[in-house]
């Protein structure tokens, strides 16, 4: 009897050249579309983006196979023409440095109060404006600057002035302008950035003017920036990410056996630091916006968070990272925000580095695999009324924190490609929300309807612009 041939996932209909585009066009919310297509095609199916074979995963068992069990096999990322140009032909982030980020983040645990005092300086003391976007953006940038480089000779965590100006005058502008043009560029081929990125496989027609223009915006690591940092490299141990990168660069330069391609160039350094800002600022800022939006819709949740803060922290001091354990309801609220509106609802695309399989299905080498986190976080078999915002899901009967009430919860991905900023992001979210809600009550401005909870799919799942009224709490005013 003949062996059965390979079994491929069911596929959406496709046409030559345009692939399955006709089935995707007009729908801008790809996570929702991919979620709904399960009814017809099952939880694992494929589609064709131009010449690119794409597999969509909607169930946690398959997702865990891709990310954890076969993490190395599916660890590839797509190479696109724009990323090639932007990274100067492969000066990708330096993973020695990037993967070391959690270490520096752990060290920062002891510096929580310093992050907090920096956020205080930014906030203009007691009054928050209604421009949530700008406020949160500046709030989120600060810990990244601290995490990437702090001047360790200073008594508190202050940045080297040259480095700070390089970040604020050049790098942040570069990172903020990077997303919209990239989106525009991609939208010439497909309506949304994720799909655009998938579409931009090698050998396809593509406009390259924008990435080149973006490249010209990249702030060079001038002599004013690097030498002071190199001089400061005194002790043996690396204190922050910049230290680790510079130390590695130095030891590679001194190793005569390493040919130039193995040297760590200034471009590697720049791209690594740019990546920390690019990947970290918009994500954390977006989660904060979603958190505020849900607190406007669910005032009883806001009240409970404030009651917990009042009881456990009071009004005499700021919340600190060491308070996380005694504020389970706030932690549960953050977890629920990350579930209900995952910032990266399709993760980042993964690529099969060899021929492989997911469940009973054969997956060819080079296939792009999209893990639809939205489907995992809204699976009705795993979550009771998934569209309801209920932090209580993340608490047990005694009110203690449950870290993962369902295996279908992966807001930061998992395995070899897990988000390297997870610890830092959780610290930031905790401190910002604790600090804000200790002092302020958030409401929709009077006479205005509650803002929509519908997201906008793009580089991240954005909340639509909204305004918020911020009131200093009576209890806080009386307490200080
Ligand atoms: C709440 C905020 C954040 C969320 C929800 C988030 C989520 C994610 C997700 C889902 C991925 C993709 C995992 C995959 O494709 O399998 C990712 C990747 C990544 N994140 Fe985050 N992230 C956040 C904040 C940060 C921060 C603060 C940083 C840096 C300081 C960061 C750096 C990165 C990097 C470098 C990657 C790529 C990892 C790789 O390709 O190996 N993220 N993040």
The continuous run of DSSP H or E covering 49 comes out as: strand 44-49
Q: Could you tell me how far CA 252 lies from the centroid of its own chain? A: 31
The whole-number pLDDT of residue 113 equals 43
Which of 175, 271, 412, 429 for a ligand 1 pocket mutation test, highest count of atoms within 8 Å of Cβ? 412
Q: Is residue 347 in contact with ligand 1, taking CB distance under 6 Å?
A: yes
Ligand 1 atom nearest to 414, measured from its CA? 16
Residues in CB range of 181: below 8 A, 6 or more apart: 210, 213, 214
Torsion of CA 190, 193, 199, 201, to 10 degrees: 150
Which of 74, 419, 426, 459 for a ligand 1 pocket mutation test, highest count of atoms within 8 Å of Cβ? 419
The whole-number pLDDT of residue 393 equals 97
Residues in the chain: 480
pTM score, whole prediction: 0.82
Rounded mean pLDDT for each run of 10 residues along the chain, 480 residues in total = 83 87 79 95 94 95 98 87 55 52 52 45 39 54 57 47 70 58 33 28 37 64 68 64 76 67 71 74 86 96 97 90 94 98 94 96 96 98 97 95 93 92 87 88 88 88 85 73
Pairwise CA distance, residues 238 & 260, whole Å: 24
Residues in CB range of 169: below 8 A, 6 or more apart: 219
Q: Is 473 exposed, middle or buried (0-12, 13-18, 19+ CB in 10 A)?
A: middle
Q: Is residue 460 in contact with ligand 1, taking CB distance under 6 Å?
A: no
CA-proximal residue: ligand 1, atom 37 (nearest): 419
Q: No. of H helices and E strands in the chain? A: 21, 11
The whole-number pLDDT of residue 301 equals 98
* Inter-residue contact 64 to 407 (CB < 8 Å): yes
* Inter-residue contact 378 to 63 (CB < 8 Å): no
pLDDT tens-digit profile of 60-115?
999 999 999 999 999 998 876 555 555 555 555 555 455 555 555 555 544 444 44
Domain ranges of the chain: 10-479
Pairwise CA distance, residues 372 & 312, whole Å: 38
Query: Is residue 363 helix, strand or coil?
Result: strand
Instruction: Look up the ipTM and state it.
Output: 0.99
State how far the alpha carbon of 257 is from the alpha carbons of 97, 252, 261, in Å.
21, 9, 12
The whole-number pLDDT of residue 58 equals 98
Ligand 1 atom nearest to 417, measured from its CA? 41
Domain 10-479 is of which CATH architecture? Orthogonal Bundle (1.10)
The whole-number pLDDT of residue 200 equals 24
The whole-number pLDDT of residue 199 equals 28
Pairwise CA distance, residues 377 & 398, whole Å: 24
Q: Which residues are annotated as a binding site?
A: 419
């Amino acid at each position: 009897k003949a062996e059965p041939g390979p079994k491929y996932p069911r596929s959406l209909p496709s046409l030559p050249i345009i692939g399955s585009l006709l089935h995707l066009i007009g729908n801008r919310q790809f996570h929702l579309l991919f979620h709904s297509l399960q009814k017809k095609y099952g939880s694992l199916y494929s589609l064709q983006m131009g010449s690119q074979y794409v597999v969509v995963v909607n169930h946690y068992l398959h997702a865990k196979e891709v990310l954890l069990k076969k993490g190395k096999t599916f660890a590839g990322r797509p190479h696109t023409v724009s990323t090639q140009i932007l990274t100067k032909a492969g000066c990708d982030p330096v993973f020695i440095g990037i993967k070391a980020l959690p270490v520096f983040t752990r060290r920062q645990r002891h510096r929580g109060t310093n992050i907090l005092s920096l956020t205080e300086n930014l906030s203009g003391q007691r009054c928050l404006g209604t421009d949530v976007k700008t406020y949160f953006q500046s709030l989120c940038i600060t810990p990244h600057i601290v995490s990437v480089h702090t001047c360790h000779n200073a008594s508190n965590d202050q940045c080297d002035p040259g480095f700070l100006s390089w970040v604020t005058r050049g790098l942040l502008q570069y990172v903020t302008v990077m997303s919209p043009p990239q989106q525009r560029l991609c939208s010439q081929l497909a309506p949304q950035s994720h799909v655009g990125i998938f579409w931009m496989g090698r050998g396809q027609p593509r406009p390259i003017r924008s990435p080149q223009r973006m490249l010209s915006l990249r702030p060079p690591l001038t002599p004013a920036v690097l030498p002071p940092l190199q001089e400061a490299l005194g002790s043996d141990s690396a204190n922050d990410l910049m230290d680790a990168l510079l130390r590695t660069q130095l030891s590679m330069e001194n190793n005569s056996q390493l040919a130039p391609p193995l040297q760590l160039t200034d471009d590697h350094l720049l791209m690594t630091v740019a990546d920390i800002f690019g990947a970290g600022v918009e994500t954390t800022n977006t989660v904060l916006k979603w958190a505020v939006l849900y607190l406007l819709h669910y005032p009883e949740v806001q009240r409970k968070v404030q009651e917990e803060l009042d009881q456990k922290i009071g009004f005499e001091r700021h919340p600190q990272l060491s308070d996380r354990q005694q504020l389970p309801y706030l932690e549960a609220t953050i977890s629920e925000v990350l579930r209900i509106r995952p910032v990266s609802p399709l993760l980042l695309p993964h690529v099969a580095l060899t021929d492989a399989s997911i469940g009973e299905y054969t997956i060819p080498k080079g296939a792009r695999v999209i893990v639809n986190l939205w489907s995992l976080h809204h699976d009705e078999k795993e979550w009771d009324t998934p569209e309801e915002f209920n932090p209580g899901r993340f608490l047990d009967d005694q009110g203690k924190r449950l870290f993962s009430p369902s295996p279908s919860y992966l807001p930061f991905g998992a395995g070899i490609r897990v988000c390297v900023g997870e610890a830092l992001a959780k610290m930031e979210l905790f401190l910002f929300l604790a600090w804000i809600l200790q002092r302020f009550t958030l409401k929709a401005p009077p006479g205005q309807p509650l803002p929509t909870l519908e997201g906008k799919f793009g580089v991240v799942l954005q909340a639509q612009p909204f305004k918020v009224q911020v009131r200093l709490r009576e209890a806080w005013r009386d307490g200080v």
